[in-house]
Amino acid sequence: MATGEKKRGQILVISGPAGSGKGTTVAEILRLYPEEFVLSVSCTTRAPRDGEIDGVHYRFITAEEFDRRIEEDNFLEYARYCNDNNYGTPRDFVEKELNRGKNVILEIDVKGGMQVKAKMPGTVLIMVAPPDLPTLEKRLRGRGTESEEEILKRLARGRQELEQMDLYDYVVTLPEGDVTSPAVRIREIMRAESCRVVKNADFRARFYGEKAE
């Protein structure tokens, strides 16, 4: 990094089961630190729902454009779901924001997180976990919007997601009634990550020269 130049941002993958508080945590990070973080806007082939705005909630694209982007390796990760709805994280958007010095948040599942990690070394992976499984169940039931069958399905999926925690770098919990501390903690993690020697190769070269291993 030359003096005065803005340091490139980092990719932050945030995963966690429904009811973990992942969405709330991401919203709080963006509210507290709008200068440092930006949320990646995914591409999707599904139709917009009422109130959804192109470029804000998703970039709504055709199936043909989706396939073209895959061919051009323009997705850092993508998923095709059974009802033929496709979702992908666009590389161009992420690159642009990283170059502006922003940390780019990807709110995706573990499978997607692993794809991004493989393509983008230096990605930071954080799992947002509930304090325990009974709390997760209580939160899912507390929403009061889903059927018993849907709740049990989400719980099973949530447990599966949490069992993959070992693949992640950090785990953060959202305590009852406190949305701020996990957001502050995650920002601290990102600040520490940015000080890793491997992420400061240019700075290191000032002392060891370009040829140093």
* Interface residues toward ligand 5GP, by CB under 6 A: 42, 46, 77, 79, 87-89, 108-109, 112
Based on CB atoms, which residue is closest to ligand 5GP, 66 or 87? Answer: 87
Which residue, among 1, 5, 10, has the nearest Cα to 187 in the 3D structure? 10
Nearer to ligand 5GP, 109 or 137 (CB): 109
**Minimum CB separation from ligand 5GP for residue 125, in Å?**
14
> Cα(31)–Cα(202) distance, rounded to whole angstroms?
32
Closest residue to ligand 5GP, based on beta-carbon distance: 42
Residues counted in the chain:
213
Q: How far is the CB of 29 from ligand 5GP (least distance, A)?
A: 17
∠ CA 198-105-118, rounded to 5°: 50
CB of 34 vs ligand 5GP, minimal distance in Å: 21
Euclidean distance between CA atoms 150 and 118, whole angstroms: 32
* Neighbouring C-beta atoms of residue 65, cutoff 10 Å: 14
Question: Minimum distance from CB of 30 to ligand 5GP (Å)?
Answer: 16
Q: Could you tell me the end-to-end alpha-carbon distance of the chain, in angstroms, rounded to an integer?
A: 17
Indicate the residue among 58 and 186 with the shorter CB distance to ligand 5GP: 58
Q: By C-beta, is 87 or 168 nearer to ligand 5GP?
A: 87
Q: Smallest gap, in angstroms, from Cβ of residue 73 to ligand 5GP?
A: 15
SS3 label, residue 73: coil
Name which of 108 and 136 has its Cβ closer to ligand 5GP.
108
Q: Is there a contact between 88 and 81 (Cβ–Cβ < 8 Å)? A: no
